[in-house]
Structure 1
Amino acid sequence: MFNGLGLPVLLAIFAACAGVIWVAGVKLADTTDILSSRLHLGKALGGIIVLAIATNLPEVAITVSAALAGNLGVAVGNILGGIAIQTVVLVAMDIAMKEKVPLTYRAASLTLVVEAVLVIVVLIVSIMATQLPGTLIAARLTPGAVLIGVLWVIGVWLSSKASKGLPWQDASGTAPDGQEEPKGHSKVKKDDDSGKRGESTVNVALVFGAAALATLAAGVLLERSGDAIADHIGLSGVLFGATVLAAATSLPELSTGITSVRMKDYQLAVSDIFGGNAFLPVLFLLAVVISGKAVLPDAQASDIYLAGLGVLLTCIYAAGLIFRPKRRVWRMGIDSVAVLILYAVGVGGLFAISSGHGG
């Protein structure tokens, strides 16, 4: 599709697609919040699943496009690299806070710890599935990918159940001196603002549909142009997918997350990141069904490394939610500082792995 195009043209196409994903992604997130509030989807299991898919449409588009093209390296790198870099988005949210305490201090909730555990569980299963034989596939399904899907549904159900009450002193599982209003209050405010502007549910749904189509189209073009750019500059598909491509598809999470933080809906901001990260490995199931190949058993060393990095970064924020450090360094919590440093070191290790395996 992009054969013969020069690097400047490819970079321009990539940047334009990233811009579309930023704008359409923000609209998608806003209309999703409004629709979930109006249709009372927020706390329902089906609603949570719909929201997880909607907020990860760029990754869905890239996975489908890469699987159809047989370029599974980019798909795997984008999924696992996306988890690591979307966790780093929490660092940006922490810096954006106008508080004297860190993000995890205000957002501290046992429900968020449950969501963090779900991210860790699906990543560990992904790592385990890489060790299974590639011939273990039937009806375009592999045991590892299926198990990830099943565990994700169970985990989302447990998270939904936890949001309705936990057997603790504080039934909501929320720490004292956390955010003042309940989790998700920013969705209600967006709905109220939309109502004041006279926007009907049908109009909001149409904007949602248009934003979804734009995001999907931009995601496909982003993957194709990104693959061509990686070839031009001699960067491996996995490395490009895990860094530049993953960063581009994380732009909507960055924008909407900072918006949630500034509206003082800290728990929702963290929950959106963990929820999206837990859903991303489910896309391995989609990649297997489309390509008809066992994706995870063919994973490279860098893929397993990225999954481990995602587990490590998630564990740090889970600990932050439990211990609630008050100290801020460079306008962020100690946990965010640790995540930022470890991610930088981790990307350095990723380059070393890529170089060691000949790209």
Structure 2
Amino acid sequence: MSHFSPALLVALFVVAAVVVWQAGTYLSDTTDVLAQRLKLGDALGGLLLLAIVTNLPEVVITLSASLRGQVDLAVGNILGGIAVQTLVLVGLDAFGKGHATPLTHRVHTLQPVLEALLVVAVLTVVVLGAQLPASLLGGHVSPAEVVLVLLWLGGVFLVGKAEHGLPWLAHAPAATTNRPEPQDATQQKQKPFANSSTKRVALVFGAASLATLLAGWALEVSGEQLADQLGMTGLFFGATVLAAATSLPEVSTGLAALQLGKPELVVSDIFGGNAFLPVLFLLAALVSGKAVLPRAQASDLYLTGLGILLSSVYAVGLVFRSRRQVGRLGLDSWAVLVLYALGMLGLLFIQQ
């Protein structure tokens, strides 16, 4: 595509983004049904089904960039994507259905808090792993890249275990506040695919996943060429424009999930995806043939710290479940928005 004009590249980028957006709606609708029928629950369903599939564009970008040896683009997309996807919760808080109260107030379970802590844990391992020499495992894989996979699997296990109840809630005076609000029969009947067979739902889920995968590849290729023609560095483009484009599935699925009255599914999709993204460092290392984390730059670690900070803010918001809003946003969303803006400003100075 190097010979494509900027206008044609922009057109391809926009078309791919639209496909990703439309596919995200189907993913949210089918995940809701599959999570119920497989008895996963909203939190675990969001962490396993929705979070991984909506991150297929990041998987494609990581694989493609690593094959060409452009690890900086893959790293910038992974770590920058975490901050951008956390920012998606701000938009959903403001414009999603039910915005009369903050998004974190509408979540009636503590499982998303566990997922936020998992994000903090894996990003902490990223910082630690960046300090280790690449030669520890022969230079092809960093020990931290292996630990990230094991840590993510352990987190999935704990979230699944929490689906059956957290023991201390039974003795808490305010335990009733963590119970989901019942949905009326009208809302239940309006759910897409509610009367479809599990096989048909799975087929639609698979087709939407494939569309997300292919469109993600188109986003990566056209976006990379645009970055080259505009003279943008791999890290800055990956952490901003490309990360925002590949976050479209989370925006689309989040809006659809809020229409279904599933705020837990929304938050679990974001935190589940953010916890999964660092796992891709192992993929990048295996494909490129060299450990990725020991080669992380100051700007990479800066984005990692920003992701930890934003996740921590929402974890606190999920615990306190404040009703207070300023404009259409909860206080935690305002904090995340301001911190992200300051963080991107700081990234510009690091790039200089």
TM-score normalised according to structure 2 size: 0.90
Residues 31 and 259 of structure 1: CA distance in aligned 2, closer, same or farther (over 3 Å): closer
Q: How far apart, CA to CA, are the structure 1 residues paired with 2:78 and 2:55?
A: 10
Could you tell me how far 1:11 is from its partner in structure 2? 1.3
Q: Deviations over 1:81-132 (max 9, x none)?
A: 1111111111112112435431112215322211111000000101111111
Q: How far apart, CA to CA, are the structure 1 residues paired with 2:18 and 2:45?
A: 30
1:16 and 2:6 aligned: no
Unaligned runs of 5+ in 2: none
Aligned mate of 2:319, from 313, 319, 322? 322
Could you tell me how far 1:178 is from its partner in structure 2? 6.8
Moved more, 140-149 or 307-316: 140-149
**Amino acid across the alignment from 2:123:** L
User: Pairwise CA RMSD of aligned residues?
Assistant: 2.8
Q: How far apart, CA to CA, are the structure 1 residues paired with 2:119 and 2:292?
A: 19
Q: Deviations over 1:55-93 (max 9, x none)?
A: 321111111111112111111111111111111111112
Q: How far apart, CA to CA, are the structure 1 residues paired with 2:237 and 2:226?
A: 9
SS in 2 for 1:109: coil
Q: How far apart, CA to CA, are the structure 2 residues paired with 1:33 and 1:227?
A: 34
Q: How far apart, CA to CA, are the structure 1 residues paired with 2:130 and 2:343?
A: 20
1:154 and 2:154 aligned: yes
**Runs of 4+ more than 6 Å apart:** 43-47, 171-175
**Amino acid across the alignment from 2:114:** V
Q: How many residues align?
A: 349
Residue 128 (structure 2) aligns with = 128
TM-score normalised according to structure 1 size: 0.88
Residues 150 and 81 of structure 1: CA distance in aligned 2, closer, same or farther (over 3 Å): same
Residue 60 (structure 2) aligns with = 61
Unaligned runs of 5+ in 1: none
Moved more, 100-109 or 327-336: 100-109
1:87 and 2:86 aligned: yes
Residues 271 and 50 of structure 1: CA distance in aligned 2, closer, same or farther (over 3 Å): closer
Contact 2:47-2:273 at 8 Å conserved across structures: no
Could you tell me how far 1:244 is from its partner in structure 2? 0.9
1:231 and 2:228 aligned: yes
SS in 1 for 2:291: coil
Residue 75 (structure 2) aligns with = 76
Q: How far apart, CA to CA, are the structure 2 residues paired with 1:322 and 1:249?
A: 29
Residue 194 (structure 1) aligns with = 193
Q: How far apart, CA to CA, are the structure 1 residues paired with 2:297 and 2:258?
A: 36
Q: Deviations over 1:26-51 (max 9, x none)?
A: 22333333333334444897995454
Could you tell me how far 1:316 is from its partner in structure 2? 0.6
Could you tell me how far 1:294 is from its partner in structure 2? 0.6
Residue 145 (structure 1) aligns with = 145
Aligned mate of 1:343, from 307, 315, 340? 340
Contact 1:109-1:174 at 8 Å conserved across structures: no
Residue 304 (structure 1) aligns with = 301
1:270 and 2:267 aligned: yes
* Identity level (%): 53
Could you tell me how far 1:348 is from its partner in structure 2? 1.2
Could you tell me how far 1:231 is from its partner in structure 2? 1.1
Could you tell me how far 1:314 is from its partner in structure 2? 0.6
**Amino acid across the alignment from 1:58:** P
